[in-house]
Amino acid sequence: MERTFFVTTPIYYVNAEPHIGHAYTTILADFIYRFNLSLGIDSYFLTGTDEYGDKIFTAAAEKNMTPQDYSDKISGKFRAEWDSIDIKYSDFIRTTDDRHKRIVQYVLQKIYDKGDIYFGSYGGNYCMGCERFLTDKEMVNGKCPDHNKETQYIEEKNYFFKMSKYQDWLLDYIDKNPDFIRPERYKNEVLSLLRSDRLEDLCISRPTSRLTWGIPLPFDNNFVTYVWFDALINYISALGYPDGDKFKKYWSAAQHIIAKDILKPHGIFWPTMLKAADIEPYTHLNVHGYWNMDDAKMSKSLGNVVTPRDLINKYGNDQIRYFLLKEMTFGLDARFNEDLIIDKINFDLANDFGNLINRTFNMAGKFFSGKIPEFGNDNAGRDDLVAGIKKSAEDYILFCSKFQISIGLERLWEFIRSLNKYIDDTKPWQLAKDNNTDKLSSVIRNLLEGIYGISVLLSSVLINISPQIIAALNAAGASSNLDALLSMNNLTSGTVLGELGILFPKIEKAKPEAKAESDKEKRMNETGLIDIGDFSKVDIRVAKVIKAERIDGSDKLLYLTVDAGQEQRNIVAGIAHVYSPEDVEGKKILLVFNLKPATLFGKESQGMLLAAKKSNKDKPQVIFIDDTIPIGARLG
């Protein structure tokens, strides 16, 4: 059967306008959709808006609008926002669409007829922000930790879905399909929820006496459907479940993208709902972290919301796509500020890629009147370049397929940097001076071929600039097939290169800050001292080692799974020559929590354990922490 690919974003609530957090997930989905298309895979990309429930009803009332008018307006804004930044969704679903309502009722009836929905009574702490009841364990000081708001105690008669019936099935399914939820930390989070308690059944209705803004239950119109039960079904209603062609074609290749905030509904409610309705589970749930504005969560109430369109107008669409995709390590939170965007543009795009293009095009202009030269007879170094692009492209494809886009891009950049080094090593200006046209032709041709290959590979990220480069190389009709690409022989000798100008202009940072920063660095260099602000950037937390194991092939490294309070982390620690796994299991240690992850012996290390040694010759001694200090406590 032909390979297919189906990617979804969450459908966004219409109680807030689109911001950069929503844009990230949508750009990531757009990237992965275009990336799969470029591999020749028949792909489909779904996004949309979530319009029912208490939250929307209240937001509409505050604006003196009917919930439908209000939803129309905000849903329209989401769609317009995505259109304006060239998001190529295949379908945009709204939960108020008739096609969706029908299927929600169909699924409810199916599960009801099966006996998995019953009528009962429930009292619990409801968080309006999450639109769900929280368990005691999830609350902190009587509040929802995500929304920092008191929950409301609600007791009423309602319909329940027998979620608990599917707990063991789900545990088993996740065990057998280790990539079902990825990255691993979120799989572990779901597993620990499933293992720690008996699942409660899911309350799936709201009485119309309390809320009318919802889809009526097909078997009792005194109730409307609970918003999460309704919303999750969008992923299949949009494909025309149960009989639609799109459902038949794409569902078996479904991959959801969400952020960690909505892990429980997607990791637990949704697969059990699918199971109850006799539908195959999705293939992967891909969970990314949160963008934080310099450590604070982005939210309307904090007034630090950044709109995608403003940013794109300021820095460029391709530049923002590159920044977002490169800066966030899959699964981890990322910091968002404009300095970081400027750094990515100046270093990666302008210095590395932009310079490579400018230098090559200028030299082709100067030495070959702007025409693409033939390869010369002396082509020393070409084999390394061909091997280089092969390795980079394969890694890029491998990592991007696993949603580790930032690592994939890094691998591609290794090839870009190697081409810049090739210029420095071969010194084309010297070859020209020596009249060595033969070798000079090879060098320039190899560079142009390399630029072509990179531009094709990057065309899912740099959606406007890649086609410009390809057009300037007169290669719009050349093969973009991977094998052809890797041959580094795709351009037509003798054709005239187009004009490109400066593709990635460098951006100056705001002066006063830049100066303060360099003054600070100078002071630090002079005295060797850092100030408290510098120190506070390092987030060190108490964590407990849950599991430790040796890493095959290394006698120095242990692979630890630690509980850091809010989340589990895996870290690689260079202590295996001093400590056995049993020495550290169950002990509390200090963990550098905000260290950029690194991969060692094929394992991602998501932080660093603190150890001390007197000199480099000594063995490290792990700093074990008194058991009375709680897990997650921050050092400072």
Is 330 a residue that touches ligand MSP (CB under 6 A)?
A: no
Q: Is 266 labeled as catalytic in the residue annotation? A: no
Smallest distance, ligand MSP to C-beta of residue 13, A: 4
The answer to the question of residue 262 lying near ligand MSP (CB under 6 A) is: yes
Closest CA to 160 of 225, 218, 234: 225
Minimal distance, residue 472 CB to ligand MSP, in Å: 35
Q: Kindly tell me the burial class for residue 155, based on how many C-beta atoms sit within 10 Å of its own C-beta (0-12, 13-18, 19 or more).
A: exposed
- Is 203 a known active-site residue? no
Among 6, 24, 250, 361, binds ligand MSP (CB under 6 A): 24
Least Å distance, CB 229 to ligand MSP, is 10
Burial state string for 115-134 with b = 16 or more CB within 10 A and e = fewer than 16: ebbeeeeeebbbbebbbbbb
Specify whether 127 is catalytic: yes
Active-site residue, 19 included: yes
* Known active-site residue 400: no
The question of whether 433 is a catalytic residue gets the answer no
Query: Judged by CB, which is closer to ligand MSP: 25, or 360?
Result: 25
CA 230 to CA 223: how far, in whole Å? 13
CB 85 within 8 A of CB 31: no
266: left (phi over 0), alpha (psi -120 to 50) or beta: alpha
| Contact flag: residue 127 with ligand MSP (CB under 6 A) | no
Does 21 bind ligand MSP (CB under 6 A)? Our answer is: yes
Q: How far is the CB of 627 from ligand MSP (least distance, A)?
A: 35
Q: Does 215 bind ligand MSP (CB under 6 A)?
A: no
For strand 42-50 and strand 4-8, is the pairing parallel, antiparallel, or unpaired?
A: parallel
Q: Which of 7, 10, 44, 447 touches ligand MSP (CB under 6 A)?
A: 10
For residue 636, what are the contacts with CB-CB under 8 A and spacing of at least 6?
535, 536, 540
Interacting stretch for ligand MSP, rule CB under 6 A, among 4-12, 185-193, 441-449, 572-580?
4-12
d(CA 634, CA 216): 48
Closest Cα to residue 368, out of 431, 304, 279? 431
Which of 100, 101, 144, 275 is an active site residue? Answer: 144
Span near ligand MSP by CB under 6 A; candidates 11-19, 172-180, 306-314, 525-533: 11-19
Out of 6, 31, 50, 564, the only residue in the binding site for ligand MSP (CB under 6 A) is: 50
22 binds ligand MSP (CB under 6 A): yes
Catalytic residue selected from 297, 391, 556, 603: 297
Q: Is 327:288 a contact under the CB 8 Å cutoff?
A: no
Phi-psi region of 212 (alpha: psi -120 to 50; beta: other; left: phi over 0): alpha
CA-to-CA distance for 497 and 513, rounded, in angstroms? 41
Asked if 154 interacts with ligand MSP (CB under 6 A), we say no
Catalytic site residue 288? Answer: no
What's 509's DSSP letter? P
Among 259, 279, 484, 635, indicate the residue that binds ligand MSP (CB under 6 A).
259
Q: How far apart are the first and last CA of the chain?
A: 58
> Smallest gap, in angstroms, from Cβ of residue 113 to ligand MSP?
24
Active-site residues: which are they? 19, 22, 127, 130, 144, 147, 297, 300
Q: Which residues contact ligand MSP by CB under 6 A?
A: 10-13, 21-22, 24-25, 50, 231-232, 234, 258-259, 261-262, 290-291, 298
